[in-house]
Structures are given as structure tokens and as C-alpha cells.
Amino acid sequence: MTTVSIAATETTPFQRSMILISVVLATTLYGMTIMVVSVLLPQMQGSLSATQDQIAWVMTFNIVATAVVTPMTGWLAAKFGRRNVMIYGVLGFTLATIGCGVSGSLGAVVVYRVLQGAFGAPLVPMGQAIILDTFPKRLHGTATSIFGMGVVVGPAIGPTLGGFLSELYNWRWAFFMIVPFGMLALAGLRVFLTDRGRESDVRLDWTGFLALSAAVISLQLMLDRGQRLDWFDSTEIVLEAACAVVAFYIFVAHSLTTARPFLRLGLLLDRNYSLGLVLVFAYGMLNFTPMVLLPPLLQAQMGFPDSIIGMLLAARGVGAVLGFFLAMFVAKLDPRVGMIVGFALQAASGWFMIGFDLNVSTFDVGLASLAQGIAVGLIWVPLTVATFATMDSRFLAEASAVFHLLRNFGSSVFISVSVTMIIRTANISYAELTEFITPFNEVLAYPWAIGIWDPGNAAGLAALSGEIGRQAVMIGNLNAFYLYTAACVAVLPLILLVRVRRPG
């Protein structure tokens, strides 16, 4: 009998259900805090008297702390036991969330956001390992569907609820709303979660850990600050890129030559796991990018109110829930079917968004968000099941940590690339469109065509410049949607390489 089946038989169906509920609640709360700050930054900036560059550190340091601690999940589980990792992770995360809400200065908020990321980082990979280890393989599809809702739906509903509470009261209540549910998750984990045991001779490979941490921190800072500092025209970005490359080389060289590395590179010999890492990187690229690109476009260029934008983001969460329910049935089929349908649906939604203009209706935006949510739910379950189908249960915590680290990296990379494309191509489009504003353009001589955009006076010229800027930004976003669609299509052939285990 395998280790997974032994662990599954040690718990009753009721215990497994309560463990699943507690873990899902914990991961949902952590997922909510990832994106909730994005809607709070303007209000926090005014309340804390910070500049735009300073307030950005509230999100940057949280991402960096998460990226550093996530790979440690396997070592933490072996050293302290999975039960202690989950319990103290939820406790520390909840206390740090309280600290974020009561902070009176920017420095205090940044410190608590670092603690929030550090304590919350192991929750998702550790929770996934617990679910796969607790449930028998015949129930992995259903259990992973429910667990995935916390991972994917949390970031979708966080900005909606946080934005509503910040408008009704203030930004602090967006953090306070998480606290009671955090305590509820803590109680459930303490009562129902059992320990799987610890390794007596576990030790931390400090060289590998520090090298990987340096690479992760440098890369995250480069991605987060690149556009503000004009990328490689900045000395800081060049230094961060060089540090990331050198540190990653040291990590790989050390891991290949030491007897007990921080992360086992031998796990990459598992074909499904290696392909799963590539696919989850692509999944991360496509998951959060529309949630980051659409709100500024809808608000600044189309004048949508915050309440409507929140509802459109909520449509994505509704779609994700539907997708996870559909995945329970699709999981009975070849897992490649669910992944192909999911990525194809994302490609279709991206192609649909390419047809957007500045007069797009809320129905069209909501339909695209709903389709993307369904696709996210459809992909997650077969992707997770196929990735870990041939993985030894002893390495689940470590393998899950790398899995979710690459998911987060995919989001960071593609968001940075998309934002850069929007800004650069918008500037190019603005320059190209202004070439038509000339006395030799006969259309400008007709009052019915020029309207309020009269280049003959200052007010008309300003209005004309603003309209050209709106159209240029829209073109930049359409280019980003082209890139999104191309990425969806490019990943489809890789799915066919996934190996499916047949009965017998």
C-alpha cells in the first residue's frame, strides 16, 4: 500500500471533509490579500501621506516575502510537521493582517505586509500537499476542485469586497474583514488536522536557500520596478538582473553537486511534473493578467464606476466556481481534455477582447470575465492531478512549493511584460495618430467631423490631445490582448505531451 493510501485510510470521511473546509478557508483568505491591496493603494496613499512610488512597496515587499518563503515549504514541513506549519502560518498571517489594519505609518504597513506574505506563503503549497495526501486518488479530482476554488476565487473576490468596504468605511476594514475567518480556519486546523510526522535528521541547505532567495528577490524587484525605472536604461535594473542570473547559477550548480540540496532537482526527471511546471507557469501568466489590466482601462479610459468594475471582477469569480464544478465531471475523463478545453476557452476570450473599443458594453466585459473564470476552473483540476499523478507522496510538500512558486512567477512576468507593451505601444500609437492632426487633413475642415476637438483654440486642442491619448491607450491594451491570446494558443501543443496513467 502506498503512503498516500495509508494516510487516506487514517482519517474518516468526516475528518477529511473538515480538513478540506479548513484548508480551503485558509487558502481563500490568503488569496484575497494578494489582490485586495491593488484597489486600496490610492486611499492608502492619501491616508499615509506617501508618494506613488513609496506606496507601491506595500505590494512589492509582500510579493518578495511570499516568493522567498514559498520554496521553504518542504523543509518547514519536514522540520516542524505539516500541522504546525499550517496552524502557525494561519495564526501569524491573521495577526499580521490585524497589524496592517491598525498601522498608522507606511513603515508599519510594509513590515506587517512582509509578515503577512511570509506566514501566508506556505499555506497554499502545504494545503495542496495535505489534500493530495489525505484523500484517496479516486477522490483527487473532487478534492482538488474544491481546494482550487480557494486558490483562484480568493484573488477574484478580494478586490470586490475590499473595494466595497473601503468606500463604505475606509481601507483598514478590507483587512479587518479577514480576521474572523482566519480565526475560524485556525480553530478547524487545530481540531481536525493530524501530523504526518517529521524527519529527525532534516537540515537546511543554507547555500542553496540563500542563493535561490537572492535570485528570487532580485527577479521580483526587477519585474516590479522595471517599468517605473525604464528597464535596462536603469543601473538598478541592470544590477538586479545580473544578481538574479549569478545567484540562480550558484543555486543550480550547488544543487547538482551537493548530497542534500535545498530543492531536489531530481524531481524534474518526473515527466509529468516537469511538464506540469511549464504549464502552471503559463497558467499563472494567464490567470491574474486580465484582472490587472482591465480595471485601469475601464476606470480611466471608459469612465466605469468602481462598483461596476467590482461586479465585473466578481463575474470572473462566478465563472471560476462554475469551472471548478464542471471540472469535477471532466476529471473523470482524460486530464488533457480539461486542460485543452480550458486554454482554448481562454484563447477564445482573448480573441473576443481584441474586438473591444472605448464604447464596449458591460455585458461584453462581463462575458469575457465569466469565460476566463470558467477556463481557470477547468484547467486547475486536471493540471494539478496530472502534475502530481506520478509523484512520491514524500516529496509532495517540496514539489507543491515549486509548483506554486512558478505559478506566482508566471503572473509577475506576464503582468510586467503586458504593462510594458501597453505603455510602449500606446506612446508609439499616440505619435502616429498625431500625424493626422495637420492643416492638410481635409476632414478637419468640416465642423460635423471636428466637433469639440477644434485645434484652432487651446481648449479644443487639449480635448483633441486627450481623445488621442485615450485611443492610443486602447490600442496598447488591444496589443496586450493579442499577446494574451497568443500565449493561450502556444501552450496547447505542450498538453499533448502529458502522460496519462491507464488502469492496469
pLDDT in tens, 199-215: 556 677 788 888 888 88
The answer on pLDDT for 403 being more than 60 is yes
Nearest to 245 by CA among 253, 233, 256, 234: 253
Query: What confidence tier does 2 reach under pLDDT thresholds 50, 70, 90?
Result: very low
Residues 34-49 have a mean pLDDT of 76
∠ CA 254-260-266, rounded to 5°: 75
Looking at residue 200, its pLDDT comes to 56
147 with 139: CB under 8 angstroms?
no
Looking at residue 7, its pLDDT comes to 52
The answer on pLDDT for 384 being more than 80 is yes
The shares of helix, strand and coil residues in the chain, as percent rounded to the nearest 5, are 80, 0, 20
The answer on pLDDT for 246 being more than 90 is yes
414 with 424: CB under 8 angstroms?
no
Bigger pLDDT: 372 or 168? 372
Give the C-alpha separation, 218 to 216, whole Å: 6
Looking at residue 209, its pLDDT comes to 83
Looking at residue 4, its pLDDT comes to 44
Which residue has cell 470575465?
369
Bigger pLDDT: 460 or 366? 366
pLDDT, one tens digit per residue, over 439-487 is: 777 777 676 666 667 666 777 778 788 888 888 989 999 999 999 999 9
Beta strands in 63-205 (DSSP E): none
What mean pLDDT is reported for the chain?
82
Looking at the chain, the whole-number percentage of residues with pLDDT higher than 90 is 13
Query: What confidence tier does 320 reach under pLDDT thresholds 50, 70, 90?
Result: confident
Residues 64-87 have a mean pLDDT of 84
Query: What confidence tier does 489 reach under pLDDT thresholds 50, 70, 90?
Result: very high
Residues 93-97 have a mean pLDDT of 92
Distances (CA, A) of 113 to 58, 63, 64, 67, 185: 7, 9, 10, 13, 20
The answer on pLDDT for 30 being more than 90 is no
pLDDT, one tens digit per residue, over 284-316 is: 888 878 877 887 788 777 777 766 777 787 788
Residues 170-194 have a mean pLDDT of 87
Residues 322-342 have a mean pLDDT of 81
